[in-house]
Structure 1
Amino acid sequence: MIEALVLPVTISIIACCLIMAAVWFWAYKIKNGGVVDIFWSLNFPVIVLIILFTSEGWRERTWVICAMVVVWGVRLGVHLGKRVIGHIDEEEGRYAQLREDWAPNANRNLFWFFQAQGFSNVLLSLPFFIISANENKGFSAFEYTGFVLWLIALSCEALADNQLNRFKMDPSNEGKVCNVGLWKHSRHPNYFFEWLIWMSFAIFALGSPYGYLAIISPAIILDLLLNVTGIPTTEKQAVRSKGELYKEYQRTTSAFIPWFKKK
């Protein structure tokens, strides 16, 4: 199995690093590091296309997981693209803060940050590599379960993003905190359902040899969302921009899991 993964993994690393180098150059020219989020999402469809042409597993299974990743990755990339490009001349608060923290070597550090994002794309793609190497014919219960969970999580993530977009587009909501729809039950429903999508990939991989290793991906995503670049940085920026309004929102809602209310 390891031998079967050498080629797709190697090509994926090279492709993602080259893409992120080009994205860094673009970010350098426009002084907006937020564009990395768009291509972090779009790198996953690139990886599964590489897998599609280099994998040795059962083709039907490979086509299914590749289609799942392309649909999810392109939707997320387009969504983030609209958000970032909509204010391309104004760098998102998280990256503006990084630029300030890393001064006077911000551009150099951002380059390596972008490269780290490219490597993370390949590491997190472990479920896709495992699934595509499975030569057994036929779909297992794990694969059916993973697909159903993926469909539910993707639909809910898209719903949360749409609800937030509609809230922001209403001029009367300027300066307010979005607390409608799924956002009434969680401060970050988009993050929660994004994590569920990664769980669906891991469950799908359980139908393949060594599939238990795929749990590494949702575990990393969960740690990033809860402790690193997800909720902590997003909430710090929200408090800076919304002040007491957001602090009140924090006191009355769950940070992550919808409907898991604070007492």
Structure 2
Amino acid sequence: GFHQLGRPLINTTMVITWACRLGSFLLYRIMKDGKDRRFDKVRTNPPKFALFWFIQALWIFITAYPVYLINVKQTEKTVGEFQPTWRDWLGWACWVTGFLLQCTADFTKLKFNSNPANHGKWIDVGIWKYSQHPNYFGEMLMWSGLFLTSSNEFEGGFEWCTSALSPLFVILLLRFVSGVPLLQKSGMKKWGNDANYVRRVKNTSLLVPWDV
């Protein structure tokens, strides 16, 4: 039954599901656009191109580290029958919520951008009406949830501290480095002179979908 699956298998399945979903979405977008625009400024520069992929690999390692750790630490308790704790249920709930939120946000934006009538417009429909970056919030929820459920297996301060880098890295990266700041800057460059856009930025929640 469910209790025979083991925490490592459940959490690993969640990581694989996340990877397959994101990978297929990006592949579809690249095939539709004919290229990956993220590489426009680096594909002609091999060192920068290599650095880009190295950073991507490092990102994956850090974010999934708690799940790697509990797989390495497998014991009879973790691979056999176990009783899920409140941290498991809350962590899994966070992951499922984040996953559904990200799927909804990506699908809504893909559908919006596929409509020629929306060319050059910012998205403010569906879940995007209540959050400027709902997909990023979903990402933060997923990795925070996996950290929480995996924490049942942590032993000692070192494992706690190194594993905590996972949600912290995702949150800090998306909120302050490569996610929100870049899109906010790009948005202001495109529509900063439009009072409606400025009003949206001011009055719409940055991450958490809710009606402010």
What interval of TM-score do these two structures reach, taking the shorter chain for normalisation? 0.7 to 0.9
Aligned partners of 2:127 and 2:134 also within 8 Å: yes
Which residue matches 1:78? Answer: 24
Q: 1:234 to 1:247 in 2, by over 3 A?
A: same
Q: 2:160 aligns with which of 195, 202, 212?
A: 212
Which residue matches 1:110? Answer: 49
Higher mean displacement: 73-82 or 209-218: 209-218
Distance 1:107 1:87 in 2: 23
Number of residues paired by the alignment? Answer: 197
Q: Which runs of 5+ in 1 are unaligned?
A: 1-57
Which residue matches 1:31? Answer: none
Displacement, 1:118? 1.2
Aligned partners of 1:146 and 1:203 also within 8 Å: yes
Deviations 1:66-110 (A, max 9, x none): 211111111111112222332124x52x544x449xxxx833122
Q: 2:84 aligns with which of 121, 127, 140?
A: 140
Distance 2:39 2:202 in 1: 26
Distance 2:188 2:27 in 1: 24
Which residue matches 1:10? Answer: none
Q: Which runs of 5+ in 2 are unaligned?
A: none
Give the aligned CA root-mean-square deviation in angstroms: 2.4
TM-score (normalizing by structure 2): 0.82
Which residue matches 2:204? Answer: 253
Matches within 5 A, 1:122-137: 122-132=61-71, 133-135=73-75, 136-137=77-78
Which residue matches 1:39? Answer: none
Distance 2:47 2:120 in 1: 34
Distance 1:208 1:230 in 2: 31
Amino acid at match of 1:203: L
Aligned partners of 2:134 and 2:209 also within 8 Å: yes
Displacement, 1:207? 1.1
SS at match of 2:6: helix
Displacement, 1:202? 0.7
Which residue matches 1:240? Answer: 189
SS at match of 2:33: coil
